[in-house]
Amino acid sequence: MAEFDNFKEDLNKTFPCRQSQINLLMSLFGQRHQYTYASLFIYGHTGTGKTAVTTNILNHLKLPHVLVNCVECYSSRFLYEMILNSLHGNSVTESSDLVKCDNMNDFVRMFKQVSEEKGIDKETIYIVLDKAERLREMEMNILPAFLRLQELTQQNVCVILLSEIVWEKFRTGSGYCEPFVLHFSDYTNDQLIEIMMLDHPTEYDENFYRMYLNLVLSVFQMVCRNLKELHHLARLNFQRYAEPVKTGEATAEDTRKLWKNIEPHLKKALQTVYLREVSSSQWEKMQQSIEAGQPPALQGLSSRSHVELPYYSKFLLIAAYLASYNPAKTDKRFFAKHAGKMSKQSKLLKKHERASNHMLGPKPFALDRMMAIFYSVVEGRVAPTANIFMQISSLVSLNLLGHVASDDQIDSPKYKCLVSLDFIKSVSRTVNFEVMRYLFDFV
Amino acid sequence: MKSSRRKSKTTKETDSGETTSLQNVQDELRLRFSQNALSPALHGYEKERRQLFDLIKRTASTGESNSVLVIGPRGSGKTMTLNSIYNELIEDDNIRENLLQVKLNGLLQTDDKIALKEITRQLQLENTLGDKVFGSFAETLQFLLDALKCGSQSSKPILFILEEFDMFAHHKNQTLLYNLFDIAQSDQAPICVVGVTCRLDVIELLEKRVKSRFSHRQVYFLNNYNFENYCDICMSYLRIESKPVGSDFIKEWNKQVEKLSKDGTVRDVLQQQFNFNKDIRALHHILMYVVCHLNETHSFPTPSDFVEAMKVTMTDSKSAMLHGISILELCLIIAMKHLTDIYDGEPFNFEMVYSEYAKFAQKRSSMQMYEKAVVLKAFEHLLALELVKSTDGSGTRIQKEYRLMSLLIHPSQITDALQKYPQCPTEVKQWASTSVI
């Protein structure tokens, strides 16, 4: 029993703050030959140690188990074969004696065979299905069958489902044999720091790093409580934090100075690295160049929204944008020659729904309307050649326009404009067209 | 190393008789609460059981063909009753030699082809087919039908048990059901078709020709017992029948169980569970939890174990998930709640949520206002957790800011989560409680 406790202590050291979950799981698993729940459903947020804790317990106790990620198994056949083969101990590369299985009936039969062959039919066999929410998208008999695998195989099996999604969302049809539902709770801030302290840089003092983690959390915790993300950000920015100490500008105790130094930097990281605007390696490179001298202007992913388009395509896109975001009844006012000014009453009326079109999103429009707007905004005479219509369909394939399903696809197709206001502004700037003057929301 | 550990453990266990008997008790109870449980004493259903028993026995002994549907909610003991009937029947030597049993399950045999193969396998007819193990579907069906048809009253009776019967009704043309019921109708080999299902409207799923061949005999297994019976059932599950090994411990165990059955707290827990769900299988979950938590230092179940088990099974999962999201995500959920209130349940898009959030963050709070991309990331996390669902299918091509969404959380869950949320800013709480700005 002493070794058993030792193991538990080890596990608690590797996974701090998961003590109750570890205890619970171990008591549920019990002895090797003992029965346990037919199925366990474990849910919790990303990075709460669902997979890590479960597999570590199984590995350490050397219980016969199979770990399958349901994302990899996009068809049920792969799922069956993966479970059987890894239970059998086959490596996937050796194609000679792989087990073949393509339906649930064969799976249940072969499962019995394999476990008898391996001599583990007297012990509890654990099947861990990670990302179990994917099982819902497979054939509808798979999930209920896995939940009663114990009964179907007449063997000591326990199926463990791991997911981020709550169990209620799995129920369909006439119901299942319900699993025992367990929750892995989220970490509190103190616990997050505790866990991130596990791999603190050895060359610095523990308290120094703890102080730093506190700062990181104070910037990021409002937005993100994902341990993996926070851990990544903390590692990425630590060099920058420790720099004044290294150069001798500040001492390790001078927290205020260090905070002043790092805060703007972390805030910037929130807008760039956190959103993956710049990659982590770019971010690191940038830090080095800051050390060297001037901070370079960061070219993120989204700032590169500029696209080179042909002249007419630009106008087609502008016309499409105007057609999508302006109500049809205002076309006359914007594009007809002798249109009166907006009456006072309609101006008042408009105040209520100010910018509402940009809130509700693009409206579909007919091709005729877009062409009419196109002819009135484009300079010079443009013949409606096949080329122009080709450009429209290529805008659709570039995902700048969207095709809306309508009754008549050839005679009167309908479209939607799928670009943002900033994008259309930059496009219209290149052709010297003031798009804001023509948008109903902004006049 | 592993084996040495196990060995050391076993030697230790033999040292103290207490541990071994606790182990035995745990072994037995864990098996009892698992899905493979051997049928224990049945509670209720005497009439239903007798009806089924007579029916199957008639097939087994006199060669009469029958068909019956067993209907009842999940976990009401349908399969268990059938198992116990079968076990009792084969105690008779005559029947054991004669009766063949074929068990099919709608979850495993998802189409008729697989089902036919399984039937041939279970009847051990593969040998008759020689090397050519299975021909085409039609061939196998023909062969099987011939084998069944050439039999007469005197041939061996077969008991077909079709679990998840409603799934078989979804097979193409219901060929299998048609043929089985047809054989049961006509003067061929004696078979008894027992369909087990939890759908009350299962008859409506059958085609007309299949329905007309079915005998319309139905047996209902409804959980019709009251709370007193429920408590008795619960305690009878925990009680250990006398065994020669470690009888002192078992006597003590049964005494403790007796004490538990009179305990007020335990009865409260059971009452709560009973009101929530009369299902025995749900009760097993609680009892399994209690049994799993026993160890050397804590060898008898206590009322607090029951309370804890109840707490684990009763947690509201959405509130638990809400506890783990960030403040920004919480703000978005509150904004969505307001939008649903204002527009009377109409779907909303991200832009609306963002402007609602911006109104709050700029005017009414001292919190930092985050830029749109950060907020969008938080929004997408909520989407990934399926706390928000898009109302139009994901196939429609539209920017993600404008996709229409609906909130899948009840307002009471939000209030609940806000109260439990660690260090929730007061202004967020106030914002949540004010209905409309």
ipTM (interface pTM):
0.89
What does the pLDDT read at residue B13?
40
**Which residue, among B229, B315, B214, has the nearest Cα to B280 in the 3D structure?**
B229
Distance from CA of B132 to the nearest CA of A (A): 19
What residues of chain A lie within 8 A of the CB of B273, using their CB? none
pLDDT tens, position by position, A378-424 = 888 888 889 999 999 899 998 899 888 766 777 778 899 998 888 89
Of A30, A221, A418, the CB nearest to B292: A30
Among A94-108, A325-339, B86-100, B114-128, which range has the highest average pLDDT? B86-100
Nearest CA in chain B to A358: B351
What residues of chain B lie within 8 A of the CB of A185, using their CB? 320, 323-324
* High-pLDDT (> 70) share of chain A, %: 89
pLDDT tens, position by position, A201-215 = 888 888 888 888 988
SS3 sequence of chain A: CHHHHHHHHHHHHHCCCCHHHHHHHHHHHCCCCCCCCCEEEEECCCCCCHHHHHHHHHHHCCCCEEEEECCCCCCHHHHHHHHHHHHHCCCCCCCCCCCCCCCHHHHHHHHHHHHHHCCCCCCCEEEEEECHHHHHHCCCCHHHHHHCHHHHHCCCEEEEEEECCCHHHHCCCCCCCCCEEEECCCCCHHHHHHHHHHHCCCCCCHHHHHHHHHHHHHHHCCCCCCHHHHHHHHHHHHHHHHHHHHHCCCCCCCHHHHHHHHHHHHHHHHHCCCCCCCCHHHHHHHHHHHHHCCCCCCCCCCCCCCCCCCHHHHHHHHHHHHHHHCCHHHHHHHHCCCCCCCCHHHHHHHHHCCCCHHHHCCCCEEHHHHHHHHHHHCCCCCCCCHHHHHHHHHHHHCCCEEEECCCCCCCCCEEEECCCHHHHHHHHHHCCCCHHHHCCCCC
Of A1, A30, A275, the CB nearest to B377: A275
Of B74, B323, B355, the CB nearest to A359: B355
**Interchain proximity A45–B321, CB inside 8 Å:** yes
Indicate the pLDDT class of residue B5, thresholds 50, 70 and 90: very low
Of B2, B35, B318, the CB nearest to A151: B35
Residue A186 clears pLDDT 70, i.e. is over it? yes
Mean pLDDT value across residues A241-260: 82
Indicate the pLDDT class of residue B7, thresholds 50, 70 and 90: very low
pLDDT tens, position by position, B171-217 = 988 988 988 888 888 877 788 999 999 999 999 999 999 999 898 88
Indicate the pLDDT class of residue B2, thresholds 50, 70 and 90: very low
Residue type (1 letter), A308: E
Of A164, A174, A274, the CB nearest to B198: A174
pLDDT tens, position by position, A127-171 = 999 999 999 988 888 999 999 999 898 888 999 999 999 999 998
pLDDT tens, position by position, B238-289 = 888 765 555 788 888 888 888 888 888 999 999 999 998 888 888 888 999 9
**Interchain proximity B325–A225, CB inside 8 Å:** yes
Residue B434 to residue B421: CA distance in whole angstroms = 18
pLDDT tens, position by position, A335-346 = 876 655 555 555
Residue A98 to residue B225: CA distance in whole angstroms = 51
Residue at token pair 């489902």: A161
Which residues share a beta bridge with A181?
A41
Instruction: Specify the higher pLDDT residue, B1 or A231.
Output: A231
pLDDT tens, position by position, B312-346 = 888 888 888 998 899 999 999 999 999 998 888 88
Distance from CA of A84 to the nearest CA of B (A): 16
3-state secondary structure at position B151: coil
DSSP structure class, residue B383: H
What does the pLDDT read at residue B224?
81
Residue A358 to residue A363: CA distance in whole angstroms = 10
A144-148, A371-375, B351-355, B365-369 — which is least confidently predicted? B365-369
Residue B381 clears pLDDT 70, i.e. is over it? yes
What residues of chain B lie within 8 A of the CB of A270, using their CB? 374
pTM reported for the whole predicted model: 0.88
What residues of chain A lie within 8 A of the CB of B327, using their CB? 221-223
pLDDT tens, position by position, B16-39 = 556 677 888 888 888 888 877 776
What does the pLDDT read at residue B9?
38
Nearest CA in chain A to B399: A418
**Interchain proximity A33–B27, CB inside 8 Å:** yes
3-state secondary structure at position B231: helix
**Interchain proximity A224–B326, CB inside 8 Å:** yes
Mean pLDDT value across residues A289-314: 70
Nearest CA in chain B to A356: B352
Distance from CA of B286 to the nearest CA of A (A): 9
Which secondary-structure segment (H or E) carries B243?
A: none
Indicate the pLDDT class of residue A319, thresholds 50, 70 and 90: very high
Contact between A365 and A402 under an 8 Å Cβ cutoff? The reply is: no
What does the pLDDT read at residue B14?
41
**Interchain proximity A105–B109, CB inside 8 Å:** yes
Q: Whole-number mean pLDDT of chain B? A: 83
Instruction: Specify the higher pLDDT residue, B228 or A96.
Output: B228
Distance from CA of A161 to the nearest CA of B (A): 15
pLDDT tens, position by position, B144-172 = 777 766 666 667 888 999 999 999 999 98
What residues of chain A lie within 8 A of the CB of B315, using their CB? 183
What does the pLDDT read at residue B193?
92
Residue A222 clears pLDDT 50, i.e. is over it? yes
Q: Whole-number mean pLDDT of chain A? A: 84
pLDDT tens, position by position, A24-66 = 998 888 888 888 899 999 999 988 889 999 999 998 888 899 9
What does the pLDDT read at residue A349?
55
Nearest CA in chain A to B7: A1
